Chain A
């Protein structure tokens, strides 16, 4: 029944060691988003895919990359995690860019800890 699934729920990685977070969706939505949410802060958009078109936010560090091999899956790669990258990472989808009917559908998030 789950529609946007993020794996794993909790991820611990070492400082500087590449890590990949996964998101999958069963909604067949065109758009997939990645947000970073640090403690007591607003979720911050990192980038999104509209179909195969990748759109990076201007202030997203180069350390963060993303891949979308097909409609269902989207990955967040952190090439060299720093302590400041510890956060909850949220994946979301919408049917189209405006997503008027229901806003976004969010996954449960992956909490990343960097040690």
Chain B
């Protein structure tokens, strides 16, 4: 069965410092990996994705993520955090074939707080 784990419920960083939000996955086959961000009382917004190719992918708002196949991880990173980055972040995996084709499975989310 496929699963996505976000081991930290909360991440707190100071503005200007680098941030990392962790994600690990467990799937059979090659996954497509995504990060989404959710602001209070809003839907999810797409940040970035890994499909194939370069392990380092760049996305919206200066975020990037590194796919590590051996560690089955897809950590979200940003070199310099902003207060406006404070939000709920979801890692998700999509399988590209089989009976679950196209379904996005989400982790529980990590609340990022960036303080001034």
A residues near B, CB below 8 A? 4, 6, 9, 31, 33, 40-45, 48, 50, 90, 92, 94, 96-100, 102-109, 111
Task: For the complex of A and B, list the 9 residue pairs with the smallest distance between their C-beta atoms, beginning with the closest.
Answer: A97-B102, A106-B43, A42-B106, A106-B44, A108-B43, A103-B46, A42-B108, A109-B43, A103-B34
Alpha-carbon distance A41/B109, docked complex (angstroms): 7
Given A97-B101, A98-B32, A98-B102, are A104 and B41 neighbors across the interface (CB < 8 Å)? no
Closest-CB distance, A108 to chain B (whole angstroms): 5
Q: How large is the interface on B (under 10, 10 to 19, 20 to 34, 35 or more residues)?
A: 20 to 34
- Asked if B69 lies at the interface with its beta carbon under 8 angstroms from chain A, I say no
B residues near A, CB below 8 A? 4, 9, 32, 34, 36, 41-46, 49, 51, 90, 92, 94, 96, 101-109
With both beta carbons as reference points, the residue of chain A lying nearest to B101 in the complex is identified as: A97
Given A98-B94, A100-B32, are A106 and B45 neighbors across the interface (CB < 8 Å)? yes
With both beta carbons as reference points, the residue of chain A lying nearest to B4 in the complex is identified as: A42
User: B90–A42 contact, CB under 8 A?
Assistant: yes
19 contacting pairs across A/B (C-beta < 8 A): A31-B102, A40-B109, A41-B108, A42-B90, A42-B107, A45-B104, A48-B102, A90-B44, A97-B102, A98-B32, A99-B102, A102-B46, A103-B49, A103-B94, A106-B43, A106-B44, A107-B43, A108-B41, A111-B41
